[in-house]
A and B are shown apart, each in its own frame.
Chain A
């Protein structure tokens, strides 16, 4: 052998050695088989992959050394990447599973046929262990699904809560409507009750005035005639005494009639009724009660005068009993189709912002009743008061009540 041949052999040996070292350095397992699948050579990574020594591997059949499956199913011979690559012309590529002992690996395998001569074909396979990557992907997918599941559950929960809230809102609305309805009915009933009471009082008052009072007046006149005809001054004095007592009773009866029925008084006119009321208040409570009025006409219908008279009387009573007032003013004025009434006192007053809008137990209907009844006429009530500052109540009402036409049928 020449020195040059030896040199060439050494060079080729060095090249082959470098290639083997280089191929052994990459993570991907490289294995080279002949047509029967018998392993001709493999990289160190392949030794590690199958867990055998290099010499155990060499000459062994790849099918036996590294049995693979695809999606849990065994492979038919023609499905094996090695066989597919041998048949060519394309590379075979796929993801497979391989079990070794208890551990299961996921492998990406690329197989390429290498035609060495016309008859001799080999296969090179590059095998990449992607178990870890696939597991990570699977874990990510699992977490994603879990997250989606939780989002769905939370959304469903929120929808349920939302529905409940909507139902509650609806229920609340219904309750509110019901309450408003009850309030409306209560107002109507209050108003109606008041009217019935007034009418009944009016009926009684009429009876007293037209019946008993007339009879007594007639009796009084007859007694006076009789007294003139009597000669005995003793007798006539006695009869005069009886006649005077009847006169007192007639006055008393009239007073009772006025108290029972302001509308009856209305026959004299609402303003006259107010005058009488002021006088009565001064007499009854021993306070100053002044009445001021303008010259404008204030022809009220029956319902309106009844409600307004009742209201003023209630306010005067409040001023005396609750306000401990010593001076009360009643001011009347007319404006177009409305009448205005102001009742002001110098009493102790109260916190108007705390005045309840519903009837209180001990206070009877009071301000609530006044407000409701005036409102039913189509009017308004304004209350101004503060502790120690007196009270000022202003009522504005139409001359003809909304219900007037109905009432006068």
Chain B
């Protein structure tokens, strides 16, 4: 089980960190390469920026439910989800998502490994 700090030190796989509102607060170098966003461009945007449009509603509802109940349904496990890059291309990727309490606030971190046969 990785921590946010460990994720920040990751150099091979794309990592994205967001605050409790879902705004992106950090991306690493591999993320910028894979998703095509510069750090300057992506920081302050919502997580839905890298989620395909069809999953926005489910993301918003699920994210909101977690904030309300604190009960995770998909954290701390390997998940195959679609992601979308800056040029709008969707691709399958293995996601590993965690949440940590930092000064009474949730912080979310995700490590994303693109899978072969990207669409």
Contacts and interface: CB of A to CB of B under 8 A. Distances in A.
A389 B71 CA distance: 115
B115 interface: no
B1 interface: no
B21 A17 contact: no
Given A6-B21, A54-B73, A55-B79, A13 B57 contact: no
A9 B67 CA distance: 12
A204 interface: no
B26 interface: no
Interface string B6-48: 0000000000000001000000000000000000000000000
Nearest to A5: B21
A13 B64 contact: yes
A281 interface: no
B67 A58 contact: no
A176 interface: no
Q: How large is the interface on A (under 10, 10 to 19, 20 to 34, 35 or more residues)?
A: 20 to 34
A38 B54 contact: yes
Contacts of A16: 60-61, 64-65
A140 interface: no
Contacts of B52: 59
Contacts of B64: 12-17, 20
A59 to B, nearest CB: 6
Nearest to A56: B80
Contacts of B57: 32, 40-41
A13 B68 contact: yes
B74 A41 contact: no
B76 to A, nearest CB: 13
A21 B68 contact: yes
Main secondary structure of the interface of A (DSSP, over half): helix
B58 A58 contact: yes
B61 A59 contact: no
A40 B65 contact: no
A17 B54 contact: no
A9 B69 CA distance: 16
A34 B58 CA distance: 12
A54 B75 CA distance: 12
Contacts of A40: 54-55, 57-58
Nearest to A40: B57
A172 interface: no
A389 to B, nearest CB: 112
A114 to B, nearest CB: 12
A19 interface: yes
A185 interface: no
A18 interface: yes
Contacts of A18: 68
Contacts of A38: 54
Interface residues of B, number: 22
Contacts of A34: 54
A58 B61 contact: no
Q: Which of B63, B64, B73 has the most CB of A within 10 A?
A: B64
A37 to B, nearest CB: 11
Nearest to A13: B64
Contact of B61 (A6, A9, A14, A41): A41
Contacts of A32: 57
A20 B55 contact: no
A192 to B, nearest CB: 115
A222 to B, nearest CB: 158
Contact of A17 (B67, B73, B80, B81): B67
Contacts of B80: 55
Contacts of A21: 65, 68-69
B68 A55 contact: no
A14 B69 CA distance: 10
Nearest to A38: B54
B17 to A, nearest CB: 17
A21 B54 CA distance: 21
Nearest to B63: A13
Contacts of A54: 62, 73-74
Contact of A59 (B21, B66, B68, B82): B82
A17 B65 contact: yes
A6 B67 CA distance: 14
B31 to A, nearest CB: 21
A59 B63 contact: no
Given A16-B64, A40-B55, A40-B57, 8 more contacts: A9-B21, A13-B63, A17-B66, A17-B67, A20-B64, A21-B69, A41-B61, A55-B80
List of 7 A-B pairs having minimum Cβ-Cβ separation, nearest first: A17-B68, A16-B64, A17-B64, A13-B64, A20-B65, A17-B65, A20-B61
